[in-house]
Amino acid sequence: MKMKGSSITTLAPLLLRELVTSLFISADQSLINLSERYKLVQILHRLLVHTFFFFLRLLPSFLSSVLITPSLSENSALNSSAALSKSKPQAFIPNKGAGGSSIARALSQLLSLMNEIPVSSRKYQVVRSLAEKLIDENLREDHESLKEVNRVALSAAFSETLLQLEAAMSKQERRRVSGDGGSVSGSWTGSGTGPGPFSYRMRRVLRGLRSFREGASFVFAGDGGDGGGSEEKWGVELLWLAQKMADCGCVEEAEWRWGTMSNLARLALIAEPRLQGSLVKFSAFLFKQVKGIRNETGDDQHRESTMNMLTTWLPLLCRASNGVDAPVLSSREREELERVLEETIEMLGQDEEKEEVLSLWLHHFTSCPSSDWPNLQACYTRWCDVSRKLLLLS
Protein backbone atom coordinates (compact mmCIF):
# COMPACT_ATOMS: atom_id res chain seq x y z
CA MET A 1 0.00 0.00 0.00
CA LYS A 2 2.87 2.30 0.60
CA MET A 3 4.06 1.66 -2.95
CA LYS A 4 0.58 2.37 -4.21
CA GLY A 5 0.45 5.78 -2.50
CA SER A 6 3.85 6.80 -3.82
CA SER A 7 2.87 5.70 -7.34
CA ILE A 8 -0.21 7.90 -7.26
CA THR A 9 1.78 10.89 -6.02
CA THR A 10 4.41 10.44 -8.72
CA LEU A 11 2.32 9.49 -11.72
CA ALA A 12 -0.85 11.57 -11.31
CA PRO A 13 0.83 14.98 -11.98
CA LEU A 14 2.42 13.62 -15.15
CA LEU A 15 -0.87 12.24 -16.45
CA LEU A 16 -2.83 15.37 -15.60
CA ARG A 17 -0.11 17.57 -17.12
CA GLU A 18 -0.34 15.68 -20.42
CA LEU A 19 -4.12 15.98 -20.48
CA VAL A 20 -4.08 19.72 -19.69
CA THR A 21 -1.32 20.31 -22.23
CA SER A 22 -3.29 18.56 -24.97
CA LEU A 23 -6.36 20.65 -24.22
CA PHE A 24 -4.29 23.84 -24.06
CA ILE A 25 -2.69 23.16 -27.45
CA SER A 26 -6.14 22.80 -28.99
CA ALA A 27 -7.32 26.15 -27.58
CA ASP A 28 -3.99 27.89 -28.18
CA GLN A 29 -4.01 27.25 -31.94
CA SER A 30 -7.31 29.11 -32.30
CA LEU A 31 -6.00 32.07 -30.27
CA ILE A 32 -2.86 32.27 -32.41
CA ASN A 33 -4.99 32.60 -35.53
CA LEU A 34 -7.06 35.40 -33.94
CA SER A 35 -4.07 37.22 -32.43
CA GLU A 36 -2.67 37.83 -35.90
CA ARG A 37 -5.64 40.12 -36.57
CA TYR A 38 -6.48 41.62 -33.14
CA LYS A 39 -4.02 43.32 -30.79
CA LEU A 40 -6.17 42.72 -27.71
CA VAL A 41 -6.35 39.00 -28.41
CA GLN A 42 -2.56 38.95 -28.78
CA ILE A 43 -2.18 40.43 -25.28
CA LEU A 44 -4.68 37.94 -23.86
CA HIS A 45 -2.83 35.12 -25.58
CA ARG A 46 0.47 36.08 -23.95
CA LEU A 47 -1.24 36.34 -20.56
CA LEU A 48 -2.80 32.92 -21.05
CA VAL A 49 0.54 31.32 -21.94
CA HIS A 50 2.29 32.76 -18.87
CA THR A 51 -0.59 31.70 -16.62
CA PHE A 52 -0.53 28.20 -18.08
CA PHE A 53 3.18 27.66 -17.41
CA PHE A 54 2.77 29.05 -13.89
CA PHE A 55 -0.06 26.55 -13.34
CA LEU A 56 2.12 23.66 -14.57
CA ARG A 57 4.83 24.57 -12.06
CA LEU A 58 2.31 24.56 -9.18
CA LEU A 59 0.55 21.37 -10.28
CA PRO A 60 2.95 18.75 -8.78
CA SER A 61 3.04 20.33 -5.33
CA PHE A 62 -0.73 20.82 -5.32
CA LEU A 63 -1.47 17.20 -6.22
CA SER A 64 1.10 15.93 -3.75
CA SER A 65 -0.65 17.71 -0.89
CA VAL A 66 -4.01 16.31 -2.01
CA LEU A 67 -2.89 12.75 -2.61
CA ILE A 68 -0.56 12.28 0.36
CA THR A 69 -3.38 12.86 2.87
CA PRO A 70 -5.50 9.92 1.68
CA SER A 71 -2.39 7.78 1.62
CA LEU A 72 -1.68 8.60 5.25
CA SER A 73 -5.29 7.91 6.14
CA GLU A 74 -5.09 4.64 4.26
CA ASN A 75 -1.94 3.63 6.14
CA SER A 76 -3.64 4.48 9.41
CA ALA A 77 -6.60 2.33 8.45
CA LEU A 78 -4.26 -0.50 7.54
CA ASN A 79 -2.48 -0.25 10.87
CA SER A 80 -5.84 -0.36 12.64
CA SER A 81 -6.88 -3.36 10.57
CA ALA A 82 -3.62 -5.11 11.36
CA ALA A 83 -4.11 -4.52 15.07
CA LEU A 84 -7.66 -5.79 14.85
CA SER A 85 -6.64 -8.88 12.89
CA LYS A 86 -4.15 -9.82 15.61
CA SER A 87 -7.07 -10.19 18.00
CA LYS A 88 -9.12 -12.06 15.35
CA PRO A 89 -6.88 -14.62 13.65
CA GLN A 90 -9.92 -16.43 12.27
CA ALA A 91 -10.31 -13.60 9.75
CA PHE A 92 -7.55 -15.23 7.67
CA ILE A 93 -9.24 -18.64 7.65
CA PRO A 94 -11.44 -19.22 4.58
CA ASN A 95 -15.08 -19.93 5.28
CA LYS A 96 -15.44 -22.52 2.52
CA GLY A 97 -15.24 -26.27 2.26
CA ALA A 98 -17.16 -29.44 2.91
CA GLY A 99 -18.50 -29.53 6.43
CA GLY A 100 -16.39 -26.53 7.46
CA SER A 101 -13.47 -28.77 8.42
CA SER A 102 -9.93 -27.45 8.77
CA ILE A 103 -8.61 -29.60 5.93
CA ALA A 104 -11.37 -28.29 3.63
CA ARG A 105 -10.56 -24.68 4.50
CA ALA A 106 -6.86 -25.33 3.98
CA LEU A 107 -7.42 -26.73 0.49
CA SER A 108 -9.82 -23.91 -0.43
CA GLN A 109 -7.28 -21.33 0.73
CA LEU A 110 -4.48 -22.93 -1.29
CA LEU A 111 -6.59 -23.03 -4.46
CA SER A 112 -7.68 -19.43 -3.94
CA LEU A 113 -4.08 -18.27 -3.47
CA MET A 114 -2.95 -20.23 -6.53
CA ASN A 115 -5.60 -18.37 -8.49
CA GLU A 116 -4.40 -14.98 -7.25
CA ILE A 117 -0.59 -15.26 -7.23
CA PRO A 118 1.19 -14.38 -10.51
CA VAL A 119 2.71 -17.40 -12.20
CA SER A 120 6.01 -15.51 -12.40
CA SER A 121 6.24 -15.43 -8.61
CA ARG A 122 8.41 -18.07 -6.93
CA LYS A 123 5.59 -18.49 -4.39
CA TYR A 124 3.22 -19.73 -7.10
CA GLN A 125 4.89 -23.13 -7.48
CA VAL A 126 5.07 -23.48 -3.69
CA VAL A 127 1.31 -22.95 -3.31
CA ARG A 128 0.46 -25.15 -6.32
CA SER A 129 2.66 -27.99 -5.03
CA LEU A 130 1.03 -27.78 -1.60
CA ALA A 131 -2.45 -27.89 -3.15
CA GLU A 132 -1.55 -30.86 -5.35
CA LYS A 133 0.01 -32.70 -2.40
CA LEU A 134 -3.08 -32.14 -0.28
CA ILE A 135 -5.46 -33.33 -3.04
CA ASP A 136 -3.40 -36.47 -3.70
CA GLU A 137 -3.10 -37.32 -0.01
CA ASN A 138 -6.87 -36.95 0.44
CA LEU A 139 -7.36 -39.37 -2.45
CA ARG A 140 -4.89 -41.90 -1.05
CA GLU A 141 -6.86 -42.08 2.20
CA ASP A 142 -9.77 -43.45 0.12
CA HIS A 143 -12.38 -42.00 2.48
CA GLU A 144 -15.61 -40.51 1.19
CA SER A 145 -15.45 -37.39 3.40
CA LEU A 146 -11.98 -36.50 2.09
CA LYS A 147 -13.09 -37.16 -1.49
CA GLU A 148 -15.97 -34.76 -0.89
CA VAL A 149 -13.50 -32.16 0.42
CA ASN A 150 -11.60 -32.41 -2.86
CA ARG A 151 -14.74 -32.24 -4.99
CA VAL A 152 -16.21 -29.19 -3.25
CA ALA A 153 -12.95 -27.22 -3.23
CA LEU A 154 -12.05 -28.07 -6.84
CA SER A 155 -15.56 -27.28 -8.12
CA ALA A 156 -15.54 -23.89 -6.40
CA ALA A 157 -12.06 -23.08 -7.74
CA PHE A 158 -13.03 -24.19 -11.26
CA SER A 159 -16.15 -21.99 -11.27
CA GLU A 160 -14.22 -18.98 -9.94
CA THR A 161 -11.46 -19.37 -12.53
CA LEU A 162 -14.01 -19.63 -15.35
CA LEU A 163 -15.71 -16.41 -14.22
CA GLN A 164 -12.41 -14.57 -13.90
CA LEU A 165 -11.28 -15.69 -17.34
CA GLU A 166 -14.55 -14.59 -18.95
CA ALA A 167 -14.46 -11.22 -17.15
CA ALA A 168 -10.86 -10.57 -18.20
CA MET A 169 -11.55 -11.48 -21.83
CA SER A 170 -14.66 -9.28 -21.86
CA LYS A 171 -12.57 -6.41 -20.52
CA GLN A 172 -10.03 -6.94 -23.29
CA GLU A 173 -12.81 -6.85 -25.88
CA ARG A 174 -14.15 -3.55 -24.48
CA ARG A 175 -10.65 -2.08 -24.66
CA ARG A 176 -10.31 -3.10 -28.29
CA VAL A 177 -13.70 -1.59 -29.14
CA SER A 178 -12.97 1.67 -27.30
CA GLY A 179 -9.54 1.83 -28.92
CA ASP A 180 -11.06 1.49 -32.38
CA GLY A 181 -13.75 4.01 -31.56
CA GLY A 182 -11.17 6.53 -30.39
CA SER A 183 -9.72 7.07 -33.85
CA VAL A 184 -10.63 10.20 -35.76
CA SER A 185 -11.97 9.67 -39.25
CA GLY A 186 -11.21 11.71 -42.32
CA SER A 187 -14.59 13.41 -42.16
CA TRP A 188 -13.29 15.51 -39.29
CA THR A 189 -10.55 17.10 -41.36
CA GLY A 190 -12.75 19.24 -43.53
CA SER A 191 -10.82 18.59 -46.75
CA GLY A 192 -11.08 14.81 -46.81
CA THR A 193 -7.59 14.54 -48.31
CA GLY A 194 -5.67 13.85 -45.13
CA PRO A 195 -5.39 14.73 -41.46
CA GLY A 196 -6.02 18.43 -41.08
CA PRO A 197 -5.06 20.61 -38.07
CA PHE A 198 -8.36 19.98 -36.28
CA SER A 199 -7.99 16.21 -36.68
CA TYR A 200 -4.45 16.42 -35.36
CA ARG A 201 -5.51 18.41 -32.30
CA MET A 202 -8.40 16.03 -31.66
CA ARG A 203 -6.03 13.06 -31.74
CA ARG A 204 -3.76 14.84 -29.26
CA VAL A 205 -6.67 15.43 -26.89
CA LEU A 206 -8.01 11.87 -27.22
CA ARG A 207 -4.53 10.43 -26.76
CA GLY A 208 -4.14 12.51 -23.61
CA LEU A 209 -7.48 11.30 -22.29
CA ARG A 210 -6.63 7.66 -23.00
CA SER A 211 -3.21 8.04 -21.36
CA PHE A 212 -4.80 9.57 -18.29
CA ARG A 213 -7.43 6.81 -18.09
CA GLU A 214 -4.98 3.94 -18.58
CA GLY A 215 -2.41 5.44 -16.22
CA ALA A 216 -5.02 6.02 -13.53
CA SER A 217 -6.25 2.43 -13.80
CA PHE A 218 -2.63 1.27 -13.54
CA VAL A 219 -2.05 3.27 -10.37
CA PHE A 220 -5.29 2.41 -8.58
CA ALA A 221 -4.84 -1.28 -9.38
CA GLY A 222 -2.03 -1.37 -6.84
CA ASP A 223 1.47 -2.49 -7.78
CA GLY A 224 0.85 -2.55 -11.50
CA GLY A 225 -0.71 -5.98 -11.84
CA ASP A 226 -4.05 -7.56 -12.49
CA GLY A 227 -4.27 -9.26 -9.13
CA GLY A 228 -1.89 -12.04 -10.13
CA GLY A 229 -4.15 -13.26 -12.88
CA SER A 230 -3.89 -13.36 -16.63
CA GLU A 231 -6.03 -14.96 -19.31
CA GLU A 232 -3.34 -17.43 -20.35
CA LYS A 233 -2.54 -18.35 -16.73
CA TRP A 234 -6.19 -19.03 -15.97
CA GLY A 235 -6.52 -21.08 -19.16
CA VAL A 236 -3.68 -23.34 -18.01
CA GLU A 237 -5.11 -23.56 -14.49
CA LEU A 238 -8.49 -24.66 -15.88
CA LEU A 239 -6.83 -27.71 -17.43
CA TRP A 240 -5.02 -28.52 -14.18
CA LEU A 241 -8.24 -28.18 -12.16
CA ALA A 242 -10.20 -30.34 -14.63
CA GLN A 243 -7.52 -33.04 -14.48
CA LYS A 244 -7.77 -33.07 -10.70
CA MET A 245 -11.57 -33.13 -10.93
CA ALA A 246 -11.31 -36.17 -13.21
CA ASP A 247 -9.07 -37.88 -10.63
CA CYS A 248 -11.67 -37.13 -7.95
CA GLY A 249 -14.63 -38.30 -10.04
CA CYS A 250 -16.37 -34.94 -10.56
CA VAL A 251 -15.29 -34.00 -14.09
CA GLU A 252 -18.97 -34.10 -15.19
CA GLU A 253 -19.44 -30.72 -13.51
CA ALA A 254 -16.54 -29.26 -15.50
CA GLU A 255 -18.08 -30.68 -18.68
CA TRP A 256 -21.47 -29.13 -17.89
CA ARG A 257 -20.05 -25.71 -17.00
CA TRP A 258 -17.80 -25.64 -20.07
CA GLY A 259 -20.78 -26.34 -22.30
CA THR A 260 -22.69 -23.35 -20.91
CA MET A 261 -19.91 -20.80 -21.53
CA SER A 262 -21.16 -19.57 -24.91
CA ASN A 263 -19.96 -16.00 -24.32
CA LEU A 264 -16.49 -17.22 -23.39
CA ALA A 265 -16.41 -19.36 -26.54
CA ARG A 266 -17.30 -16.31 -28.63
CA LEU A 267 -14.54 -14.26 -27.02
CA ALA A 268 -12.08 -17.13 -27.56
CA LEU A 269 -12.45 -16.79 -31.34
CA ILE A 270 -10.69 -13.39 -31.21
CA ALA A 271 -8.32 -14.15 -28.33
CA GLU A 272 -4.52 -14.17 -28.51
CA PRO A 273 -3.04 -17.33 -30.10
CA ARG A 274 -1.42 -18.54 -26.87
CA LEU A 275 -4.72 -18.28 -24.98
CA GLN A 276 -6.52 -20.02 -27.84
CA GLY A 277 -3.98 -22.82 -27.58
CA SER A 278 -4.70 -23.26 -23.87
CA LEU A 279 -8.45 -23.37 -24.49
CA VAL A 280 -8.04 -25.87 -27.35
CA LYS A 281 -6.01 -28.18 -25.09
CA PHE A 282 -8.62 -27.85 -22.35
CA SER A 283 -11.49 -28.57 -24.77
CA ALA A 284 -9.65 -31.59 -26.16
CA PHE A 285 -9.20 -32.98 -22.65
CA LEU A 286 -12.88 -32.53 -21.79
CA PHE A 287 -14.09 -34.07 -25.06
CA LYS A 288 -12.04 -37.18 -24.29
CA GLN A 289 -13.51 -37.27 -20.78
CA VAL A 290 -17.02 -36.91 -22.20
CA LYS A 291 -16.54 -39.95 -24.43
CA GLY A 292 -15.42 -42.05 -21.45
CA ILE A 293 -18.37 -40.91 -19.33
CA ARG A 294 -20.88 -41.67 -22.10
CA ASN A 295 -19.44 -45.17 -22.54
CA GLU A 296 -19.82 -45.87 -18.82
CA THR A 297 -23.24 -44.37 -18.09
CA GLY A 298 -25.16 -44.79 -21.34
CA ASP A 299 -26.18 -42.50 -24.18
CA ASP A 300 -28.95 -40.43 -22.60
CA GLN A 301 -27.71 -39.27 -19.21
CA HIS A 302 -25.19 -36.70 -20.50
CA ARG A 303 -26.67 -36.05 -23.95
CA GLU A 304 -27.65 -32.43 -23.25
CA SER A 305 -24.26 -31.40 -21.82
CA THR A 306 -22.53 -33.21 -24.69
CA MET A 307 -24.62 -31.25 -27.21
CA ASN A 308 -23.75 -28.01 -25.44
CA MET A 309 -20.06 -28.88 -25.51
CA LEU A 310 -20.14 -29.63 -29.23
CA THR A 311 -22.17 -26.61 -30.35
CA THR A 312 -20.26 -24.22 -28.07
CA TRP A 313 -16.65 -25.24 -28.69
CA LEU A 314 -16.50 -26.79 -32.17
CA PRO A 315 -16.10 -23.31 -33.74
CA LEU A 316 -12.97 -22.67 -31.67
CA LEU A 317 -11.44 -25.99 -32.70
CA CYS A 318 -12.01 -25.08 -36.36
CA ARG A 319 -10.78 -21.49 -36.16
CA ALA A 320 -8.13 -21.41 -33.42
CA SER A 321 -4.51 -20.73 -34.21
CA ASN A 322 -2.46 -23.90 -34.60
CA GLY A 323 0.53 -22.40 -32.82
CA VAL A 324 3.38 -20.25 -34.07
CA ASP A 325 6.50 -21.81 -32.57
CA ALA A 326 5.02 -25.26 -31.98
CA PRO A 327 1.65 -26.87 -32.75
CA VAL A 328 -0.94 -26.74 -29.99
CA LEU A 329 -1.66 -30.45 -30.43
CA SER A 330 0.59 -33.05 -32.02
CA SER A 331 -0.55 -34.88 -35.16
CA ARG A 332 -1.31 -37.97 -33.06
CA GLU A 333 -3.38 -35.92 -30.61
CA ARG A 334 -5.30 -34.33 -33.49
CA GLU A 335 -6.13 -37.67 -35.05
CA GLU A 336 -7.22 -38.99 -31.68
CA LEU A 337 -9.48 -36.01 -31.03
CA GLU A 338 -11.03 -36.32 -34.50
CA ARG A 339 -11.97 -39.92 -33.69
CA VAL A 340 -13.36 -38.84 -30.32
CA LEU A 341 -15.46 -36.11 -31.94
CA GLU A 342 -16.82 -38.50 -34.58
CA GLU A 343 -17.77 -41.11 -31.98
CA THR A 344 -19.32 -38.45 -29.74
CA ILE A 345 -21.44 -37.06 -32.60
CA GLU A 346 -22.56 -40.52 -33.70
CA MET A 347 -23.65 -41.30 -30.13
CA LEU A 348 -26.12 -38.40 -30.21
CA GLY A 349 -29.59 -39.87 -30.03
CA GLN A 350 -31.56 -37.76 -32.50
CA ASP A 351 -30.88 -37.16 -36.17
CA GLU A 352 -31.74 -33.45 -35.76
CA GLU A 353 -28.97 -33.07 -33.16
CA LYS A 354 -26.41 -34.62 -35.48
CA GLU A 355 -27.57 -32.31 -38.25
CA GLU A 356 -27.17 -29.24 -36.01
CA VAL A 357 -23.64 -30.20 -34.91
CA LEU A 358 -22.40 -31.23 -38.36
CA SER A 359 -23.89 -28.16 -40.06
CA LEU A 360 -22.13 -25.98 -37.49
CA TRP A 361 -18.87 -27.83 -38.10
CA LEU A 362 -19.16 -27.50 -41.89
CA HIS A 363 -19.79 -23.75 -41.69
CA HIS A 364 -16.75 -22.99 -39.53
CA PHE A 365 -14.52 -25.59 -41.18
CA THR A 366 -15.08 -24.13 -44.65
CA SER A 367 -14.97 -20.50 -43.42
CA CYS A 368 -11.43 -20.79 -42.05
CA PRO A 369 -8.86 -21.07 -44.89
CA SER A 370 -5.88 -21.33 -42.54
CA SER A 371 -6.94 -24.62 -40.90
CA ASP A 372 -8.15 -28.01 -42.14
CA TRP A 373 -8.77 -29.50 -38.69
CA PRO A 374 -10.80 -31.14 -37.29
CA ASN A 375 -11.74 -32.94 -40.50
CA LEU A 376 -15.10 -34.62 -39.86
CA GLN A 377 -15.85 -35.28 -43.51
CA ALA A 378 -16.21 -39.04 -43.00
CA CYS A 379 -18.67 -38.48 -40.15
CA TYR A 380 -20.61 -36.00 -42.27
CA THR A 381 -20.82 -38.47 -45.17
CA ARG A 382 -22.07 -41.26 -42.90
CA TRP A 383 -24.75 -38.98 -41.48
CA CYS A 384 -25.88 -38.07 -45.03
CA ASP A 385 -26.13 -41.78 -45.93
CA VAL A 386 -28.20 -42.55 -42.83
CA SER A 387 -30.47 -39.55 -43.47
CA ARG A 388 -31.03 -40.64 -47.07
CA LYS A 389 -32.02 -44.15 -45.96
CA LEU A 390 -34.37 -42.75 -43.31
CA LEU A 391 -36.08 -40.64 -45.95
CA LEU A 392 -36.52 -43.65 -48.26
CA LEU A 393 -37.91 -45.78 -45.42
CA SER A 394 -40.41 -43.10 -44.45
pLDDT digits (tens, 9 = 90+) for 275-325: 999 999 999 999 999 877 665 555 556 788 889 999 999 999 998 866 545
Average pLDDT, stretch 77-91? Answer: 41
* Chain-centroid distance, C-alpha 232: 8
Average pLDDT, stretch 173-189? Answer: 56
Which among 229, 230, 287 has a CA at the least distance from the CA of 254?
A: 287
Residue-level pLDDT at 157: 95
Percent of all residues in the chain with a pLDDT value above 90, rounded to a whole number: 42
- In order, the DSSP letters of 186-218 are GGGSSSSSS--HHHHHHHHHHHHHHHHHHHHHH
Average pLDDT, stretch 218-229? Answer: 41
Residue-level pLDDT at 174: 87
Task: Report CA-CA distances (Å) from 333 to 111, 249, 317, 339.
Answer: 29, 24, 13, 10
Average pLDDT, stretch 162-166? Answer: 94
8 Å CB contact between 197 and 29: yes
The confidence band for 83, taking pLDDT boundaries of 50, 70 and 90, is: very low
H helix count then E strand count, the chain:
14, 0
Residue 183 has pLDDT above 60, yes or no: no
Residue 207 has pLDDT above 90, yes or no: no
Residue-level pLDDT at 80: 42
Percent of all residues in the chain with a pLDDT value above 70, rounded to a whole number: 59
Residue-level pLDDT at 23: 57
Q: Which residues contact 75 (CB under 8 A, 6 or more apart)?
A: 1, 2, 5
The confidence band for 86, taking pLDDT boundaries of 50, 70 and 90, is: very low
Residue 94 has pLDDT above 70, yes or no: no
197 or 386: which leads in pLDDT: 386
Residue-level pLDDT at 182: 44
Residue-level pLDDT at 221: 38
Which among 134, 7, 371 has a CA at the least distance from the CA of 126?
A: 134
Average pLDDT, stretch 163-167? Answer: 93
Residue 187 has pLDDT above 60, yes or no: no
Residue-level pLDDT at 177: 77
In tens, the pLDDT along 323-371 reads 545 578 888 999 999 999 999 998 887 788 999 999 999 999 998 888 8
In tens, the pLDDT along 28-67 reads 555 555 555 666 766 776 677 667 666 656 655 555 454 4
Rounded to 5, what percent of the chain is helix, strand, coil?
80, 0, 20
Give the lowest-confidence range in 21-35, 62-76, 94-108, 361-375.
62-76
Task: Report CA-CA distances (Å) from 325 to 309, 330, 337.
Answer: 28, 13, 21
Residue-level pLDDT at 186: 37
In tens, the pLDDT along 250-278 reads 999 999 999 999 999 999 999 888 899 99
Task: Report CA-CA distances (Å) from 301 to 215, 256, 343, 346.
Answer: 51, 12, 16, 15
- Distance of alpha carbon 153 from alpha carbon 151, whole angstroms: 6
Residue-level pLDDT at 180: 56
Residue-level pLDDT at 12: 55
